[in-house]
């Protein structure tokens, strides 16, 4: 009798266990996962703002669908829908990078129980716009007329090739004699580079200006600088060129290094690119490397 009773108890336990397992299978919307993990995965700033809009659009395309496993079929359908909306492969790659990061975290935390394979879409190499010396002179003169600080920042950006956020985030301790160290970077890797004579001048604080701010460009915010930039750009006839944004100064620095004969690996270190493939976008500008080919091909 007691054996029969024990078996019945075991059977009951088994049923209860299965029932609780079934009950624990949850489903989530992409937006819910983002809300849960956004502050862990992304630092505050422009990139996090962009990711937020990417995830919002993805949730919209998926019609707010809930899932406990993100299938390959769902991913393929999502990519197809984004392409129909006019997204380029480069844009799709950025959106999928954000989604992949979010889903990997959710998978690790046990929120979803399978992941699709994310394949990078083939991107066309776009034309890289950079400033000619004459364009730089005109644009910087217009910026200087509006703000001496914005002018100093512009000179520093084009001669250091750093990102706008990296420059504004500098503190005085980051500048030692003829060198500057960038500690807070997009790649997460710090780097130190030497400064040109005019870039060094931009980091000096005149005594008659009163108390020093936190860093040489800390008195400016990115929106303030962009507003000054856009006004100056319009004044010098570059208003219609949508590639003339502050980031063009980084492209300009890179292109000048490559055209000046600096090898691509050093350019990578200078810019702080995580992978050499990012720097290879500028490699075609090293035209001097091909001059000896003409000598071989000439018919004398």
- Reduce the secondary structure of the chain to three states and give it as a string: CHHHHHHHHHHHHHHHHHHHHHHCCCCECHHHHHHHHHHHHCCCCHHHHHHHHHHHHHHHHCCCCCECCCCHHHHHHHHHHHHHCCCCHHHHHHHHHHHHHHHHHHHHCCCCCCCCCCCCCCCCCCCCCCCCHHHHHHHHHHHHHHCHHHHHHHHHHHHHCCCHHHHHCCCHHHEECCEEEECCCCCCCCEEEECCHHHHHHCCCCHHHCCCCCCCCCCCCHHHHHHHHHHHHHHCCCCCCCCCCCCHHHHHHHHHHHHCCCCHHHHHHHHCCCCHHHHHHHHHHCHHHHHHHHHHHCCC
The answer to whether residue 92 sits within a structural domain is: yes
Number of domains in the chain: 2
Q: pLDDT tens digits for 133-191?
A: 999 999 999 999 999 999 999 999 999 999 999 999 999 999 998 999 998 767 667 89
- 168 with 223, same domain: the answer is yes
- 109 with 221, same domain: the answer is no
pLDDT the model gives residue 12: 45
Q: What average pLDDT score do residues 61-87 get?
A: 92
Q: pLDDT tens digits for 34-59?
A: 999 999 999 887 788 889 999 999 99
* pLDDT more than 70, % of the chain: 88
Q: Report the CATH number that the domain containing residue 239 is assigned in CATH.
A: 1.10.443.10
- 76 with 163, same domain: the answer is no
The answer to whether residue 298 sits within a structural domain is: no
Lowest mean pLDDT across 14-23, 100-109, 250-259: 14-23
Would the pLDDT of 279 be above 90?
Answer: no
- 160 with 244, same domain: the answer is yes
Q: Which residue has the higher pLDDT, 45 or 199?
A: 199
Task: Give the domain range for residue 248.
Answer: 133-290
- 144 with 281, same domain: the answer is yes
Would the pLDDT of 104 be above 70?
Answer: yes
pLDDT the model gives residue 15: 45
The answer to whether residue 281 sits within a structural domain is: yes
Lowest mean pLDDT across 94-98, 131-135, 243-247, 272-276: 272-276
Q: What average pLDDT score do residues 235-260 get?
A: 93
Q: What average pLDDT score do residues 24-37 get?
A: 88
- Domain end residue (candidates: 77, 94, 124): 124
pTM of whole model > 0.85?
A: no
The answer to whether residue 163 sits within a structural domain is: yes
The answer to whether residue 22 sits within a structural domain is: yes
- 147 with 221, same domain: the answer is yes
- 29 with 118, same domain: the answer is yes
The answer to whether residue 278 sits within a structural domain is: yes
Lowest mean pLDDT across 67-71, 107-111, 195-199, 293-297: 293-297
- 161 with 246, same domain: the answer is yes
The answer to whether residue 300 sits within a structural domain is: no
Q: What average pLDDT score do residues 252-272 get?
A: 92
- 120 with 8, same domain: the answer is yes
- 230 with 188, same domain: the answer is yes
- 99 with 172, same domain: the answer is no
pLDDT the model gives residue 282: 86
- Domain end residue (candidates: 124, 155, 185): 124
pLDDT the model gives residue 25: 63
The answer to whether residue 191 sits within a structural domain is: yes
- Domain end residue (candidates: 105, 124, 143): 124
- 101 with 146, same domain: the answer is no
């Amino acid at each position: 009798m007691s054996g029969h009773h024990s078996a019945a108890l075991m059977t009951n336990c088994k049923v209860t266990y299965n029932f609780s397992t079934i009950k624990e299978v949850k489903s989530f919307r992409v937006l819910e996962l983002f809300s849960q993990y956004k502050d862990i995965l992304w630092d505050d700033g422009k990139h996090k703002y962009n990711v937020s809009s990417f995830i919002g659009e993805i949730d919209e395309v998926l019609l707010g669908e809930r899932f406990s496993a993100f299938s390959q079929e769902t991913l393929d359908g999502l990519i197809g829908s984004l392409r129909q909306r006019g997204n380029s492969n480069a844009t799709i790659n950025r959106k999928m990078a954000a989604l992949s990061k979010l889903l990997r975290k959710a998978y690790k935390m046990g929120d979803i129980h399978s992941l699709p394979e994310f394949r990078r879409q083939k991107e066309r190499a776009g034309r890289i716009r950079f400033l000619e010396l004459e364009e730089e002179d005109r644009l910087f003169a217009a910026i200087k007329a509006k703000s001496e600080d914005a002018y100093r920042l512009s000179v520093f950006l084009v001669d250091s090739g750093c990102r706008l956020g990296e420059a504004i985030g500098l503190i005085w301790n980051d500048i030692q004699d003829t060198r500057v160290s960038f500690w807070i970077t997009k790649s997460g890797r710090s780097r130190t580079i030497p400064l040109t004579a005019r870039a060094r001048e931009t980091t000096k604080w005149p005594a008659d200006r009163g108390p020093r701010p936190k860093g040489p460009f800390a008195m400016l915010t990115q929106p303030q600088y962009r507003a000054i930039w856009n006004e100056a750009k319009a004044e010098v006839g570059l208003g219609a060129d949508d590639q003339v944004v502050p980031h063009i100064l980084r492209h300009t620095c890179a292109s000048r290094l490559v055209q000046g004969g600096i090898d691509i690996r050093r350019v990578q270190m200078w810019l702080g690119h995580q992978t050499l493939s990012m720097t290879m976008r500028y490699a075609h500008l090293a035209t001097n490397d091909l001059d000896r080919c003409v000598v071989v091909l000439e018919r004398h």
